Structure 1
Amino acid sequence: MKKRWIIPFGIAIMIIFGLGVNFYMDEEKLNKEMINIVYSGEAKNAFYTDLKDLDTKAFTEEGVIQSYEIDEKSINHNPMGGINVTVIINENPELYIKYTLDKFNGKLECGSASIAGKLSKLLGRWEENK
């Protein structure tokens, strides 16, 4: 009687394992696609444009924003659509902007953004001293 259950049990375990591997592979594929998008030229243009909007003198000696880098660990799928990504400013983890990258009218753009308090203050002080 026990032998009858061994084969169906083994098949069920193999199916569950197969589904788990398939789910993992789909997640890996999605993660690689998101990373490729975030590091694409189109995304770099979107970040550059948005950062220049925040700081018109960005990437110059007079600007608050001198450089940015993408926090690769922060890249994930936004359940509302698009890709969540954090951009670190001037190599300082306390100065960051959390973006949602998404396609608008067929063009990749920075959607919503959440700016770190310290960066916001720096940008505000810079604005006051214009």
Structure 2
Amino acid sequence: MYQYQKKQEMIAIATSDKAKKVYEEYLNKEDPYAFTEKGFVHSYQVKLDSLSYNPMGGLMVSLIINDDDEMLVDYNLIGGADGDYTSAFYGSTPKFWQTRDEYYKKEE
């Protein structure tokens, strides 16, 4: 029962509007046209089986970009005193970077 409650707590945090703000802020930084026809990032979803608490603090979250399991972005969500979240780090799979680089080379 305890593990189930912890998992539900992690899902609630990872899918909250405050967490989405952190995700989208970073995705918009990497793709200025994210979530538009001009961008390469069209959608994301939280990879629920990736959720875990970091022993050093925070919640580890992976996002699946554009329904592609090989294009992931990782976050370590940290709760702030103001109730908002930040990420202690960002990490992405090589396919994310390759897609971004290929996409924006077309525009040059």
Question: What TM-score, normalized to structure 2?
Answer: 0.87
- CA shift digits 1:49-92 (9 cap, x unpaired): 11111111000111010100111010111111110011000000
Q: In the aligned structure 2, how far is the partner of 1:78 from the partner of 1:43?
A: 16
For 1:61-80, what aligned pairs fall within 5 Å after superposition?
61-80=37-56
Partners of 1:83 and 1:33 in 2: how far apart?
A: 11
Runs of 4 or more above 4 Å deviation:
none
Task: Name the counterpart of 1:57.
Answer: 33
Q: Which has the higher strand share?
A: 1
Shift of residue 32, structure 1, vs aligned partner? 1.7
Task: Determine whether 1:29 maps to 2:5.
Answer: yes
Q: Does 1:111 align with 2:84?
A: no
Q: Does 1:86 align with 2:62?
A: yes
**Letter matched to residue 110 of structure 1:** S
Gaps of 5+ in 2: none
Unaligned runs of 5+ in 1: 1-24
Query: How many residues end up aligned between the 2 structures?
Result: 106
For the residue of structure 2 that corresponds to 1:66, the secondary structure is coil
Alpha-carbon deviation of 1:44? 1.2
Partner AA of 1:84 in structure 2 = M
Higher mean C-alpha displacement, 26-35 vs 84-93: 26-35
User: 2:28 aligns to what SS in structure 1?
Assistant: helix
RMSD: 1.6
Q: TM (normalized to structure 1)? A: 0.74
Secondary structure of the residue that 1:92 maps to in structure 2?
Answer: coil
Shift of 1:35: 1.1
DSSP-derived class of the 2:19 partner: helix
